[in-house]
Structure 1
Amino acid sequence: MRETARVVLQGRKDGKLERSSDFFVPANFPHVIDAVQKVAGLDERTNIFKTPSLALKLGHNLKKVANVLECEAMISGDENTMHNERVFKQICKTRWSECISSHALRTMNEAKWNAPQLIHFAEDVRKMHLYLDTKRVECQRNLKEEAVKKNWAELAKITLCEVIIFNRRREGEVSKMPLNAFTLRDTSVTHPDVELALSELEKKLCKHFQRIEIKGKRGRKVPILLTPDMASSMELLVQTRRKCDVLDENPYMFGRPQTLNHFRGSDIICEMAQSCGAKHPGALSSTKLRKHVATMSKVLNLKDNEMDDLADFLGHDIRVHRQYYRLPEGTTQLAKISKVLLALERGQLSNFKGRNLDEISIDPEEKMSVDSGSDTEEEVDSTERDAATSFSRSPGMEETINNGCISLTFLRKRKSKLGKKVLQVVGTAL
């Protein structure tokens, strides 16, 4: 609503679109395009948007509003409004991409070119976990000593951040975790028949962690694993909710005191990343952490079913998110594709016949040999001269030429230079 309101205000400022309904009059479509371009900051000289994502969102928003107005017009029987909405959507379908979407998408794609990939360091992740461990102990002690909303909110923030970081989960999914997802979790032990397929270490891990299920993207069921420390913090939060002014009507596990809202995981992760002393706090976000674990899975020799299990835990569809489950494009081209280019440059590609990119070993600092090439060329020329002479003096040569039946098989077995010499000999004989 706020994004759409900005366009409406821009239309009023220009004096062309006084009311929101004026946006959907077909004759005003050029003024709508002009208002969207100004709000998104289009540079008419370069056709580059300052905020390309806003331009795309405004297109979706206007189409949604048009659909709503069309439905209302159908209910009230307003034929004129129905006609305007349908014509507006048809014009958008034809002209919107040309005027807005193509420039916005091009701006977004070009902004990614040559941009450095900010990948967090393992040391930064370790610092953040150590910081959260220290803060959790402190916040648990404070809440047990004095059950007030300030202490409850601090422990809720720390626990929310820990769950997101450990599980590499989308921050919105954990932030909206319902209270009953934790209170009604399955705490039963693993079935003895199932344990037969597990190693001793895996059996211990099953007893160490607790598992709960919440709603993920597009309504998918996604799991969350809880360590004993996380589970104890969440149990303490549940026990002290009422004392700390968390409303009974608040359905969220990490709800804000005295409201019906929840804490936002993205804000908390940003705050903790700044506080823990990480070198690159901007790289410690839920999205970047999720992409990182998918990329680093290539370091392990995972089978296809194991890769599917990892993607399913992260809430990914391996067919859609395949680009995350591989090394970065720049790294692949520098480290692997460069081997092929070096081998082609040195004429050594045939030496690696039957090998994959990981098996090719070539030193980029090795110098190419010049002398060996000249010797080889002299040997080839000598061979070609001898073969051409033997061909011209072979028995039955004149008969073959006269009949016009020069053997192509012979020519195919020779190199191009030899073929030219043979043709010269044939021409002389004719």
Structure 2
Amino acid sequence: MRNDEISRKVKSDNTILAFGEKLCTKRGHDEKQHNYIRQKLREVGRLLKDMRSCPGNVEKSLENFMYPDAFKFITQSCKNVAGFDGNTNTYATPSLALKIGTTLQKCLKILISKGIETNNQDLQTRADELSKLFEINWTDDVSSNALRTLPEAKQNSQKELLSLANDVKVMSEYLRH
């Protein structure tokens, strides 16, 4: 990972590092998967950066945000990172919103496991309750708009490719004559 603000946040957060360990254990043996692992860590690092941008949250770890009463805050940070436009209910990067939801669910499982292993009932309970909130509300609050935006974004990128193909055709005809 390149040394920047996001990578420093990733390297300083125990939950993100535990998530990275899980990814490396599962996929690290395949060098082709290293870029995937890096991307997953950076996406959760960008989320943590956004969550820390609010006053009073500057030094908090991802684990410190994992409370059921922080669900709305977490969804808002996800929307911020994925470029959500409240006026049109669309995302600039809809796939990122979907990926962050999946990644956070995995991080919550890591925290539940940590709570069980360390006999920390509070951690286990709050991570489990937040996980249930994700199951119940994430689709309505984040995923539905992201899934709706995906085909629109794909169509727009195809239109750009068609425009480029037409430009190449015109240029080719010009060069022939």
TM-score for both structures, normalised by structure 2? 0.63
Give the whole-Å Cα distance in 1 for the aligned partners of 2:139 and 2:56: 22
Q: Does 1:80 align with 2:160?
A: no
Cα deviation code 1:167-195 (max 9, x no counterpart):
xxxxxxxxxxxxxxxxxxxxxxxxxxxxx
Number of aligned pairs?
121
Could you say if the C-alpha distance between residues 16 and 64 of structure 1 is closer, same or farther in structure 2, counting changes exceeding 3 Å? farther
Q: Please name the residue that 1:105 is paired with.
A: 147
Q: What residue identity is the alignment partner of 2:114?
A: E
Relative contact order higher in (CA < 8 Å, ≥ 6 apart)? 2
Aligned residues: CA RMSD:
2.1
User: 2:53 corresponds to which letter in structure 1?
Assistant: K
The 1:16–1:61 alpha-carbon spacing in structure 2 relative to 1, beyond 3 Å, is farther
> Gapped runs of 5+ residues in structure 1?
120-278, 281-430
Equivalent pair of 1:16/1:31 in contact (CA under 8 Å): no
Matches of 2:83 and 2:154 in 1, distance apart?
19
TM-score by length of 1: 0.27
* Correspondence for 2:64: 22
Residue 32 of structure 1 is aligned with which of 74, 91, 95? 74
Residue 13, structure 1, aligned to residue 67, structure 2: no
Which amino acid letter does the alignment assign opposite residue 42 of structure 1?
A: F
Partner amino acid, structure 2, of 1:82: Q
Deviation at 1:19, TM superposition (A): 2.2
**Offset at 1:21?**
1.2
**Contact preservation (8 Å) 1:22, 1:28:** no
The 1:43–1:118 alpha-carbon spacing in structure 2 relative to 1, beyond 3 Å, is closer
Q: Is structure 2 residue 44 aligned with structure 1 residue 4?
A: yes
Give yes or no for contact 1:69–1:85 (8 Å, CA) kept in 2: yes
Per-residue CA deviations over 1:289-346 (Å, capped at 9, x if unaligned) read xxxxxxxxxxxxxxxxxxxxxxxxxxxxxxxxxxxxxxxxxxxxxxxxxxxxxxxxxx
State the shift of 1:65 in Å.
0.7
Q: How much has 1:2 moved relative to structure 2? A: 1.0
Which residue does the alignment assign to 1:372? none
| Inter-CA distance 65–16: structure 2 relative to 1 (3 Å threshold) | farther
Larger gyration radius, structure 1 or structure 2:
1
The code of the aligned residue for 1:34 comes to Q
Counterpart amino acid of 2:51?
Answer: G
Determine whether 1:63 maps to 2:105: yes
Amino acid of the residue matched to residue 14 of structure 1? C
Letter of the structure 2 residue corresponding to residue 103 of structure 1: N
Of Structure 1 and Structure 2, which has the larger fraction of its residues in helix? 2
Equivalent positions of 1:30-429 (< 5 A) are: 30-113=72-155, 115-116=158-159
Which runs of structure 1 show a deviation greater than 4 angstroms over 4 or more consecutive aligned residues? 116-119
Task: Tell me, in whole angstroms, the C-alpha distance in 2 between the residues paired with 1:112 and 1:67.
Answer: 32
Provide the rounded CA distance (Å) in 2 between the counterparts of 1:15 and 1:101: 27
5+ residue gaps, structure 2: 1-40, 163-167, 170-177
